[in-house]
Amino acid sequence: MNTLDGHVVIVTGAGSGIGKETALLTAREGASVVVAEVDAKKGTAAANEILASGGQSVFIETDVADEDAVAAMVTETLNTFGCIDALVNNAGIDLEGPTTSFSTENWKQVIDINLGGAFLCSRACLPALRRQGGAIVNIASVHANFGFAGAAAYDASKGGMVSLTRSLAMENAPDQVRVNAICPGYIDTPLWDHFLAQESDPEKIDRITRDSHPLRRRGIPLDIAQAVRFLISNESTWITGTTLVVDGGMGAQFFQRSFD
């Protein structure tokens, strides 16, 4: 028996990176997966990949910062599969720059998608989740725990997701809805590729990858997807309001270096 047999799982930002790997893995574990993605081409491809492998999936074009689009996503999910057992708030963007020159428009975009999207999707899914219990997992970042120069908006959005996680966990525990967050380290995704594209020194790129993680490798989307699978499965029914750091030892190393 697969760990997620009979589950209906919504994964936002499921067209690439962590979201896509999470959608694929949860489908392999028996879940019916909603690929909620703003990019129709990527979202359709991800859902088709699940269907081609014998899984159950539907693509729903979703802008997580749009309240009406989120409401439509939930309605279509319920019309298609009848219930919602888990929501994975993964959709996000990263715009960086010095605070003094960072535009209000860019700040609003990062906060609205990363933090606002997690709020809107959670709020819309909670009535369905409360009917039979379930789980929400928010994909935050190690940026929630450390300050990075030039990343004020991204850091604030991810820190907010961790705080939102705790509040939602407390509000919904009586209805057996568990809410947890994951803080990934540097993961090999299109978002990371965008960051690397700004670096022209291959040696520096290698050093960042190697030295930032005591396990001496950059993470891969499957590392995070496996943590998500655990947190939405029946193997974690007494875990809520917590943040699981999956970072190859990055955080422990930062703490150690503060005393070097």
SS (H, E, C) 35-70: EEECCHHHHHHHHHHHHHCCCEEEEEECCCCCHHHH
Tokens standing for residue 61:
């074009």
Average confidence (pLDDT) over 58-70: 98
pLDDT at 36 over 60: yes
The CATH number assigned to the domain with range 8-257 reads 3.40.50.720
Cα 90-94-98 angle, rounded to 5 deg: 150
| Residue ranges per structural domain of the chain | 8-257
When pLDDT is cut at 50, 70 and 90, the band that residue 252 belongs to is: confident
Per-residue pLDDT at 20: 98
Average confidence (pLDDT) over 71-98: 97
**Nearest residue to 114 (alpha-carbon basis) of 126, 129, 134, 96:** 96
For residues 77 and 10, the answer to whether their CB atoms sit within 8 Å is yes
Average confidence (pLDDT) over 32-57: 98
For residues 102 and 51, the answer to whether their CB atoms sit within 8 Å is no
Among the listed residues 134, 154, 213, 233, the single catalytic one is: 154
186 in catalytic set: no
State pLDDT tens for residues 134-185. Answer: 999 999 999 999 888 999 999 999 999 999 999 999 999 999 999 999 999 9
Q: Which residue's structure tokens are 């081409």?
A: 41
For residues 11 and 19, the answer to whether their CB atoms sit within 8 Å is yes
Tokens standing for residue 197:
């594209």
Collapsing DSSP states into helix, strand and coil, what is residue 136?
A: strand
Cα 255-256-259 angle, rounded to 5 deg: 100
Rounded Cα distance between 45 and 70, Å, is 21
Average confidence (pLDDT) over 227-233: 98
